[in-house]
Amino acid sequence: MHRDAARSLPLADELSVVFARMSGLLLSEETVATALGLVGSLVHETVPGAVGAGVSIVDAAGRRSSGSTDPRVERADELQYELDEGPCLAAAAGRTLVTVDDLGADPRWPRWAAAARDLGLLSVMSAPLVAGDRTLGALKVYGAEAGAFTVRDAQVLSLSAAQAALLVAHVTARERARRASDELRQAMAARDVVSTAKGVLMGRHGIGEETALAMLLSRSGGEGGTLRQAARAVVDSAVRRLR
């Protein structure tokens, strides 16, 4: 959709295009980074006054940016994290839309505002990504002119952020489930090799299971990672003897 044409569309039609593309992504195998890249691009296209858009993620892993459509957006976000101030952090913390019409006149984040102006950014809107009781971050657009955004743009951003939050929560949950599945498979594989190694030692030395485990632990130094390594060494040794 051409950005100049976006303003002429009714708000409902405009959002339906955005949300339809997002909803299609829910059924795909895209990664979180790719999903957020699409979110940023869609918002950039949908808000005509934006010179860049992106997503800030705020979670247990820290603060980071994704889906930035312009290097200035990425740098402006990094400055917020470095200085610990700015509209995206405020939007996420307050779970509310934050609008700055003129970074040259707004007193809330003086250090960040000065740095953003040096990047050629003079206005910004940021809407929180909220899914249930979780705040995931913020969706934002930057403008190169003061007063670049309208009330209608604020509506678009807020509604898009609500949909994007569901997208991020869904894809993030799927990634967590995949990692948990991988970890479970690794844990089961480690358990199997330890069990096999105990059996080898029991048969080789005529000892009980507890004694075999104690032997493995003594070889590994009691560390989980080296226990698996010690077990693997015993199993590999048994395999070599059979050849």
Of 109-113, 124-128, 151-155, minimum mean pLDDT range? 151-155
**What is the pLDDT at residue 9?**
47
So what's the architecture of 180-242 in CATH?
Answer: Orthogonal Bundle (1.10)
Confidence band, pLDDT 50/70/90 cuts, at residue 89: very high
pLDDT score of 70 more than 70:
yes
Confidence band, pLDDT 50/70/90 cuts, at residue 8: very low
Mean pLDDT, the chain, rounded, equals 81
**What is the pLDDT at residue 193?**
82
Confidence band, pLDDT 50/70/90 cuts, at residue 201: confident
Per the CB < 8 A criterion, the answer to whether 103 and 123 are in contact is yes
CATH 3.30.450.40 in the chain is located at 3-178
Q: In the predicted model, what is the mean pLDDT of residues 161-177?
A: 74
Q: In the predicted model, what is the mean pLDDT of residues 127-145?
A: 92
DSSP letter, residue 145: S
DSSP letter, residue 207: -
CATH 1.10.10 in the chain is located at 180-242
DSSP tally for the chain: helices H, then strands E = 9, 5
Name every residue whose Cβ is closer than 8 Å to that of residue 148 and which is 6 or more positions away in sequence. Answer: 49, 50, 122, 123
DSSP string, 9-49: S-HHHHHHHHHHHHHHHHTS---HHHHHHHHHHHHHHH-TT
Confidence band, pLDDT 50/70/90 cuts, at residue 158: very high
**What is the pLDDT at residue 6?**
45
pLDDT score of 144 more than 60:
yes
**Higher per-residue confidence, 110 vs 45:** 110
As a CATH number, domain 3-178 is: 3.30.450.40
User: What burial class does residue 121 get, using C-beta atoms within 10 Å of its C-beta: 0-12 exposed, 13-18 middle, 19+ buried?
Assistant: buried
Of 52-61, 101-110, 129-138, 182-191, minimum mean pLDDT range? 182-191
**Higher per-residue confidence, 175 vs 88:** 88
Paired residues of 65 in beta bridges: 56
User: What burial class does residue 29 get, using C-beta atoms within 10 Å of its C-beta: 0-12 exposed, 13-18 middle, 19+ buried?
Assistant: exposed
Q: H or E element: which one contains 142?
A: strand 134-143
**What is the pLDDT at residue 25?**
56
Q: In the predicted model, what is the mean pLDDT of residues 11-23?
A: 60
**What is the pLDDT at residue 30?**
55
d(CA 167, CA 174): 11
pLDDT score of 61 more than 80:
no
- Encoded tokens for 40: 């940023």
- Encoded tokens for 157: 């951003």
Kindly report the CA angle at 86 between 117 and 50, in degrees rounded to 5?
A: 55
d(CA 114, CA 105): 10
Paired residues of 58 in beta bridges: 63
Q: In the predicted model, what is the mean pLDDT of residues 140-146?
A: 96
CA atoms within 13 A on the CB side of 27: 4
% of the chain residues with pLDDT over 70: 75
Q: In the predicted model, what is the mean pLDDT of residues 158-170?
A: 81
CB burial readout 59-82, b (16+ within 10 A) else e = eeeebebbbbbbebbbbbbebbbe
Per the CB < 8 A criterion, the answer to whether 198 and 187 are in contact is no
**Higher per-residue confidence, 73 vs 190:** 73
